[in-house]
């Protein structure tokens, strides 16, 4: 069945995704893969090879599973021979990032707070070996210098231009393309909670969390998570969202980035910063600030933290500790000397490492494996109690320069989502820190006491193509495949319209960093547009709809 | 063979069985598809850091080296650390196992008390309407998925009537207390009722049916006729003579069931948001967190094997006809 993006029958749609899912592979394009067909393709070369599109199991992420099946079906309609294969997440990730044993891949990715930081990792030609970030195998020697230089460019306008150029090139070459831009989304009980403000990384960020207001007896913000938290060690966790939410508020950062994507002294532990040269940054530490246990926060704590993280090679902050050489203190000023020039230093470095109390961590010889029962930070929330596997409570730290507007934030572990929604409607819970897009959200969005706020985020479902595979090494084939992605149908039917169709790796949420002139692919009749692109490039589509290489390339 | 010989032989068998289970678990998790490092390593990390992480888990060593280290650690009761949280597996067990035991053992006590009592009466009143109803109830309890019953109970008594809590062991925001303090609080008992009722409804069918069959066998024996001839009351015959003799098979089943209780009930723990070991076990398997998965399964295996052992010993103690040959 062809999916016309503007006219999708839900019943047909679901039948299609289910059937494809049950079969475990998308149907072949009009012929058996075991026999060659070249009817009507006298001037054609051989058929394109069979491609593998790796899919996660339905129970891991049902929506994405259905979307991948659907895209696989459309690629077959385009005339490619695509087999959708389901793998457990760990296996899938290994096959793609280490073994490069895939043709197409899709999962969720995010760029973080700065759109340029992950670009070299994902697209630089020196990064294509096993387990490095550029798993598509994309190599563009002309683009490589720009990918690196934008990280070192201090002049914002020049850097924006570089990022625009990168987007233009990647938009044409499409080694990776966004299917849908995923939103940050929060559902809450609007009788009790109000005042959410948007931020590109999400509503858990320091700024929205210190803006939100709570009206109930105890002034408690009450959320839930499906999984247990596991650890309270800020240096020993694995970058899991549920813990990022906690540490964001328990600890301060030298610099924080506000919702306008600017370094903001009102949110930061440092009140001033200077850049005397390309490899040096000086920070003036906020005075009279105290740790949750009453000790003073000093520049020595900052120096200790940066030295400690580097000395112990904390994996979570490896990107950051590899950047700097030395840290020194002079009065309230801390000077950090970097190995190489860094452009967006505050987005790449200053806002990343949480500042730790020296008097608590000094005696810990193996910080990544330390058991931290009662974390002490200096952020606007302080540790209250933690019933492992059941509940975490953080209470207001009244001495913070930007205090929260509630007394406590409680997280209850509740695996069953129907229970969560029931408690949210009753007001026992009053916000969902992780609001999964799905039927529950759609059904409850209109309820009088349920508020839903969303804003474009930094992430997308990517559609990645392995350029090491014959056929996919040709830009024309990749572009045709991108044409065929039924983005509107996926957003409308699978994501209930909460997401946005993706056209550019650096989406509109990044404001001026996003290039509005990036090549747009076909919104409707994508399969037909894809076929036309293939034929224009010399590929031949036979009577069965199967794509053949141009005769010359076959020979 | 004397009791002590029997005990020593069974203890040795227990050791060998545990070693076999530990080995099977080790192999099983490593033969499963999936790479545990995929959950903790991100492409942003440098090769050096990635390598360091893999080495810290010992996953770069050959399989036989990993196996020897695993067995060596087991002998010193070191179950390792979680790949995901760095927490000692022993601490994971200490955190979640008591929660599971208090739920499961309460449910078992309720289920076996009701099941055995009903079993005695259904055996005694064979062919009555009461017997038919009880057997049908037992079969329904065993057949209907317990998670569905749980959801139904939550929907009716939690969402609509609001008389049972929706999730967890204590009320939201009630603070952190010691385990025993929590267990003896009214709030905890309020939270315990619904999952215990759902579990008991499922588990009571088994002792009920065993007890009924055992009663029927016992009631057909000659000594029952002698009891009647002696003029004993029906009540005395039912409880003191028939039920007591019919009780042995149920006792064995109960001991083994208690062994299984350690594994918890994953579905019920999930539906009622009960922070038990079952939920953690599943999470560990899904995330390829080998140490936690191995540790929890080993404890489950150990409890089942131990309770089998206890059942064997109990049989010998309670039934003089059993010998140790």
Is A410's pLDDT higher than 70? yes
Is B35's pLDDT higher than 80? no
Nearest to A352 by CA among A381, A399, A314, A387: A314
Q: Let me know if A260 is exposed, middle or buried by CB neighbors in 10 A (0-12, 13-18, 19+).
A: exposed
Task: Supply the pLDDT for residue B3.
Answer: 74
Three-class SS string for chain B? Answer: CCHHHHHHHHHHHHHHHHHHHHHHHHHHHHHCCCCHHHHCCCCCCCHHHHHHHHHHHCCCCCHHHHHHHHHHHHHCCCCCECCCCCCEHHHHHHHHHHHHHHHHHHHHHHHHHHHHHHHHHHHHCCCCHHHHHHHHHHHHHHHCCHHHHHHHHHHHHHHHCCCCCCCCCCCCCCCCCCHHHHHCCHHHHHHHHHHHHHHHHHHCHHHHHHHHHHHHHHHCCHHHHHHHHCCCCHHHHHHHHHHHHHHHHHHHHHHHHHHHHCCCCHHHHHHCCCCCHHHHHHHHHHCCCHHHHHHHHHHHHHHHHHHHHHHHHHHHHHCCCCCCC
The residue count of chain B comes to: 325
Instruction: Confirm if A514 and A506 have CB atoms less than 8 A apart.
Output: yes
Task: Supply the pLDDT for residue A315.
Answer: 83
Distance CA A253, CA A267 (A): 9
Where does A46-124 have alpha helices with state H?
62-78, 89-97, 119-123
The proportion of chain A whose per-residue pLDDT surpasses 70, expressed as a percent, equals 92
| Contact check, Cβ <8 Å, A319/B44 | yes
What is the band of A555 on the pLDDT scale with cuts at 50, 70, 90?
A: very low
Where does A124-196 have alpha helices with state H?
144-152, 156-173
Q: Please name the member of B167, B279, B280 whose beta carbon is closest to the beta carbon of A412.
A: B167
B81 vs A: CB within 8 A: yes
Sign of CA dihedral A401, A405, A411, A414: negative
| Contact check, Cβ <8 Å, B273/A415 | yes
Q: What is the mean pLDDT of residues B114-126?
A: 92
Instruction: Confirm if A484 and A527 have CB atoms less than 8 A apart.
Output: yes
Is B54's pLDDT higher than 70? yes
β partners of residue A177? A463
Is A550's pLDDT higher than 60? yes
Q: Please name the member of A94, A220, A419 whose beta carbon is closest to the beta carbon of B273.
A: A419
Distance CA B261, CA B203 (A): 11
Instruction: Confirm if A285 and A206 have CB atoms less than 8 A apart.
Output: no
DSSP state of A117: T
The tens digit of pLDDT for each residue in A452-478 reads: 999 989 999 999 999 999 999 999 999
Question: Which residues in chain B have their CB less than 8 angstroms from residue A319's CB?
Answer: 44-45
What is the band of A196 on the pLDDT scale with cuts at 50, 70, 90?
A: very high
Question: Which residues in chain B have their CB less than 8 angstroms from residue A218's CB?
Answer: 173
Task: Supply the pLDDT for residue A413.
Answer: 92
Q: How far is A228 from chain B (nearest CA, A)?
A: 8
Is B2's pLDDT higher than 80? no
Task: Supply the pLDDT for residue B176.
Answer: 75
Structure tokens at B48: 């050096």
Mean pLDDT check: name the lowest of A93-97, A139-143, A187-191: A93-97
pTM of the predicted protein model: 0.84
| Contact check, Cβ <8 Å, A416/B84 | no
Distance CA B192, CA B199 (A): 11
Q: What is the mean pLDDT of residues A137-150?
A: 95
B100 vs A: CB within 8 A: no
Give the residue on B whose Cα is nearest the Cα of A238.
B40
In whole angstroms, what separates CA B319 from the centre of its chain? 26
Q: Please name the member of A91, A369, A388 whose beta carbon is closest to the beta carbon of B95.
A: A388
Question: Which residues in chain A have their CB less than 8 angstroms from residue B170's CB?
Answer: 387, 390-391
Is A14's pLDDT higher than 60? no
Three-class SS string for A203-240? Answer: CCCHHHHHHCEECCCCCEEEEEECCCCCCCCCCCCCCC
Is A7's pLDDT higher than 60? no
Task: Supply the pLDDT for residue B308.
Answer: 86
Q: How far is B310 from chain A (nearest CA, A)?
A: 32
Q: How far is B157 from chain A (nearest CA, A)?
A: 13
Q: Which residues contact B183 (CB under 8 A, 6 or more apart)?
A: B102
B55 vs A: CB within 8 A: no
Task: Supply the pLDDT for residue A30.
Answer: 36
| Contact check, Cβ <8 Å, A121/B273 | no
Is A533's pLDDT higher than 90? yes
Side-chain half-sphere of A399: how many Cα atoms within 13 Å?
14
What is the band of A371 on the pLDDT scale with cuts at 50, 70, 90?
A: confident
| Contact check, Cβ <8 Å, A230/B288 | no
Strands A104-105 and A450-465: antiparallel
Is A36's pLDDT higher than 50? no
Distance CA B102, CA A192 (A): 35
β partners of residue A541? A547
Q: What is the mean pLDDT of residues A162-179?
A: 97
| Contact check, Cβ <8 Å, B44/A318 | yes
Q: Please name the member of B40, B43, B288 whose beta carbon is closest to the beta carbon of A121.
A: B43
The gap between the terminal CA atoms of chain B, to the nearest Å, is 5
Three-class SS string for A16-44? Answer: HHHHHHHHCCCCCCCCCCCCCCCCCCCCE
Q: How far is A94 from chain B (nearest CA, A)?
A: 7
Q: Please name the member of A369, A388, A422 whose beta carbon is closest to the beta carbon of B81.
A: A369
- Residues 227-286 of chain B with CB under 8 A from chain A are 270-271, 273, 275-276, 279-280, 283
Distance CA A416, CA A433 (A): 15
The residue count of chain A comes to: 555
* CA-to-CA separations, A381 to A235, A241, A246, A251, A343, in angstroms, rounded: 18, 17, 9, 8, 31
Task: Supply the pLDDT for residue A39.
Answer: 58
Is B189's pLDDT higher than 60? yes
Nearest to A349 by CA among A84, A42, A117: A117
**Alpha-carbon Rg of chain B, whole angstroms?**
24
Q: How far is A313 from chain B (nearest CA, A)?
A: 8
What is the band of B284 on the pLDDT scale with cuts at 50, 70, 90?
A: confident
Interface test with A, best of B39, B86, B89 (most A CBs within 10 A): B86
Nearest to A477 by CA among A200, A175, A259: A175
DSSP SS3 for A202: coil
Task: Supply the pLDDT for residue A27.
Answer: 37
Q: What is the mean pLDDT of residues A127-154?
A: 91
Task: Supply the pLDDT for residue B239.
Answer: 85
Q: To which residue do tokens 């409680």 refer?
A: A410
Question: Which residues in chain A have their CB less than 8 angstroms from residue B33's CB?
Answer: 87-88, 90-91
Distance CA B112, CA B207 (A): 6
Mean pLDDT over the full length of chain A: 90
More confident of the two residues A108 and A4: A108
Q: What is the mean pLDDT of residues A321-345?
A: 94
DSSP state of A513: G
Torsion (CA) A318, A319, A324, A328 in degrees, nearest 10 = -60
Three-class SS string for A305-324? Answer: HHHHHHHCCCHHHHHHHCCE
Nearest to A95 by CA among A139, A71, A130, A124: A130
Side-chain half-sphere of B125: how many Cα atoms within 13 Å?
14
Burial B167-195 (b: 16+ CB within 10 A, else e): bbbbbbebebeeeeebbebeebeebbebb
| Contact check, Cβ <8 Å, B175/A385 | yes
Is B325's pLDDT higher than 70? no
Give the residue on B whose Cα is nearest the Cα of A409.
B173
| Contact check, Cβ <8 Å, B173/A220 | yes
Is A237's pLDDT higher than 60? yes
Torsion (CA) B257, B260, B261, B262 in degrees, nearest 10 = 150
Question: Which residues in chain A have their CB less than 8 angstroms from residue B93's CB?
Answer: none
Is A261's pLDDT higher than 60? yes
| Contact check, Cβ <8 Å, A416/B158 | no
Task: Supply the pLDDT for residue A4.
Answer: 60
Q: What is the mean pLDDT of residues A28-41?
A: 44
CB contacts < 8 A (A, B) = 142
More confident of the two residues A527 and B234: A527
Is B52's pLDDT higher than 90? no
More confident of the two residues B194 and A10: B194
Q: How far is A133 from chain B (nearest CA, A)?
A: 5
Distance CA A466, CA A175 (A): 7
Interface test with A, best of B33, B38, B285 (most A CBs within 10 A): B38
B54 vs A: CB within 8 A: no
The tens digit of pLDDT for each residue in A42-62 reads: 677 899 999 999 999 887 888
Q: What is the mean pLDDT of residues B240-264?
A: 84
Q: How far is B55 from chain A (nearest CA, A)?
A: 13
| Contact check, Cβ <8 Å, A389/B275 | yes
Is A87's pLDDT higher than 80? yes
Give the residue on A whose Cα is nearest the Cα of B50.
A315
Question: Which residues in chain B have their CB less than 8 angstroms from residue A368's CB?
Answer: 86
Q: What is the mean pLDDT of residues A508-535?
A: 91
| Contact check, Cβ <8 Å, B34/A90 | yes
What is the band of A31 on the pLDDT scale with cuts at 50, 70, 90?
A: very low
Nearest to A257 by CA among A403, A457, A114: A114
Instruction: Confirm if A503 and A449 have CB atoms less than 8 A apart.
Output: no
Task: Supply the pLDDT for residue A339.
Answer: 93
More confident of the two residues B113 and A3: B113
A162-176, B65-79, B172-186, B208-222: range with highest mean pLDDT: A162-176
Q: How far is A389 from chain B (nearest CA, A)?
A: 5
Q: Please name the member of A313, A391, A416 whose beta carbon is closest to the beta carbon of B49.
A: A313
- Residues 291-320 of chain B with CB under 8 A from chain A are none
Task: Supply the pLDDT for residue B31.
Answer: 82
Question: Which residues in chain A have their CB less than 8 angstroms from residue B168's CB?
Answer: 390-391, 412-414
Q: Please name the member of A118, A132, A422 whose beta carbon is closest to the beta carbon of B159.
A: A422
Q: Which residues contact B129 (CB under 8 A, 6 or more apart)?
A: none
Is A37's pLDDT higher than 60? no
Q: Let me know if A168 is exposed, middle or buried by CB neighbors in 10 A (0-12, 13-18, 19+).
A: middle
Question: Which residues in chain B have their CB less than 8 angstroms from residue A122's CB?
Answer: 43
Interface test with A, best of B29, B49, B56, B96 (most A CBs within 10 A): B49
Instruction: Confirm if A288 and A298 have CB atoms less than 8 A apart.
Output: no
Distance CA A525, CA B158 (A): 49
């Amino acid at each position: 069945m062809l999916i016309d993006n503007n006219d999708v029958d839900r019943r047909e749609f679901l039948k299609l995704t289910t059937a494809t899912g049950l079969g475990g592979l998308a149907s072949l394009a009009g012929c058996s893969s075991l026999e060659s067909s070249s009817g009507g393709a006298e001037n054609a070369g051989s058929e394109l090879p069979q491609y593998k599109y790796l899919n996660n199991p339905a129970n891991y992420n049902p929506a994405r599973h259905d979307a991948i099946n659907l895209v696989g079906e459309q690629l077959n309609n385009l005339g490619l021979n695509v087999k959708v294969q389901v793998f457990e997440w760990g296996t899938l990730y290994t096959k793609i990032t280490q073994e490069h044993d895939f043709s197409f891949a899709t999962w969720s990715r995010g760029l973080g707070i700065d759109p340029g930081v992950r670009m070299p990792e994902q697209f630089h030609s020196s990064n294509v070996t096993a387990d490095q970030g550029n798993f598509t195998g994309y190599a563009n020697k002309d683009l490589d210098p720009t990918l690196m230089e934008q990280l070192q460019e201090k002049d914002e306008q020049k850097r924006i231009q570089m990022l625009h150029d990168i987007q233009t090139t990647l938009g044409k070459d499409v080694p990776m393309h966004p299917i849908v831009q995923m939103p940050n989304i929060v559902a809450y009980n609007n009788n009790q909670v109000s005042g959410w403000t948007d931020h590109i990384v999400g509503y858990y960020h320091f700024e929205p969390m210190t803006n939100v207001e709570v009206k109930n007896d105890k002034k408690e913000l009450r959320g839930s998570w499906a999984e247990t938290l596991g650890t309270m060690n800020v240096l020993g966790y694995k970058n899991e969202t549920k813990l990022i939410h906690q540490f964001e508020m328990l600890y301060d950062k030298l610099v924080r980035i506000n919702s306008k994507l600017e370094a903001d002294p009102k949110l930061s532990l440092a009140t001033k910063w200077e850049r005397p040269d390309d490899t040096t940054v000086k920070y003036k530490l906020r005075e009279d600030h105290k740790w949750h246990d009453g000790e003073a926060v000093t520049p020595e704590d900052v120096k200790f933290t940066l030295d400690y993280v580097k000395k112990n090679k904390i994996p979570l902050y490896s990107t950051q500790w590899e950047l700097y050489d030395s840290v020194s203190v002079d009065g309230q000023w801390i000077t950090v000397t970097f190995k190489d020039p860094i452009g967006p230093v505050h987005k790449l470095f200053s806002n990343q490492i949480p500042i730790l109390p020296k008097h608590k961590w000094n005696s810990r010889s193996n910080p990544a494996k330390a058991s931290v029962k009662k974390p002490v930070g200096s952020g606007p929330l302080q540790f209250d109690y933690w019933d492992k596997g059941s509940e975490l409570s953080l209470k207001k730290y009244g001495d913070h320069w930007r205090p929260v507007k509630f007394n406590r934030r409680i997280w209850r572990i509740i695996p069953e989502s129907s229970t969560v929604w029931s408690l949210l409607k009753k007001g026992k819970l009053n916000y969902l820190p992780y609001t999964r897009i799905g039927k529950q959200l759609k059904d409850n969005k209109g309820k009088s006491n349920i508020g839903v706020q969303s804003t474009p985020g930094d992430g997308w479902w990517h559609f990645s193509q392995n350029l090491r595979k014959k056929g996919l090494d040709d830009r024309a084939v990749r572009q045709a495949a991108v044409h065929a992605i039924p983005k509107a149908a996926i957003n409308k039917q699978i994501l209930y319209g909460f997401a946005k169709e993706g056209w550019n790796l650096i989406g509109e949420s990044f404001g001026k960093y996003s290039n509005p002139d990036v090549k747009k692919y076909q919104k409707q009749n994508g399969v037909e547009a894809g076929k036309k692109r293939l034929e224009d490039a010399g590929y031949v589509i036979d009577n069965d709809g199967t794509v053949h290489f141009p005769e010359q390339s076959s020979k | 063979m004397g009791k002590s010989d029997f005990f020593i032989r069974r203890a040795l068998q227990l050791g060998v069985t545990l070693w076999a289970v530990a080995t099977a678990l080790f192999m099983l998790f490593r033969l499963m598809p999936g790479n545990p490092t995929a959950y903790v390593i991100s492409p942003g990390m440098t090769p050096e850091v990635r390598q360091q992480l893999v080495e810290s888990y010992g996953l770069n060593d050959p399989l036989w080296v990993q196996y020897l280290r695993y067995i060596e650690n087991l002998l010193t009761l070191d179950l390792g650390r979680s790949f995901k949280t760095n927490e000692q597996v022993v601490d994971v067990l200490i955190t979640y196992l008591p929660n599971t035991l208090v739920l499961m053992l309460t449910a078992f006590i309720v289920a076996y008390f009701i099941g055995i009592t009903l079993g005695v009466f259904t055996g005694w009143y064979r062919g009555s309407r009461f017997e038919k109803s009880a057997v049908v109830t037992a079969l329904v309890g065993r057949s209907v998925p317990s998670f569905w019953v749980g959801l139904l109970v939550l929907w009716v008594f939690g969402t609509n009537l609001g008389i049972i809590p929706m999730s967890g062991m204590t009320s939201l925001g009630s603070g952190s207390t010691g385990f025993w303090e929590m267990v003896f609080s009214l709030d905890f008992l309020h939270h315990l009722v619904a999952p215990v009722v759902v579990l008991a409804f499922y588990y009571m069918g088994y002792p009920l049916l065993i007890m009924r069959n055992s009663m029927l066998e016992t009631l057909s024996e000659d000594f029952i006729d002698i009891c009647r001839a002696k003029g004993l009351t029906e009540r005395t015959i039912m409880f003191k003579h028939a039920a007591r003799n019919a009780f042995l098979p149920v006792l064995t089943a109960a001991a083994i069931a208690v062994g299984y209780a350690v594994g918890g009930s994953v579905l019920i723990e999930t539906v009622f948001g009960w922070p038990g070991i079952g939920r953690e076990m599943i999470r560990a398997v899904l995330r390829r967190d080998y140490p936690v998965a191995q540790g929890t399964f080993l404890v489950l295996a150990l409890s089942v094997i131990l309770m089998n052992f206890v059942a064997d010993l109990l049989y010998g103690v309670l039934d003089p006809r059993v010998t140790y040959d």
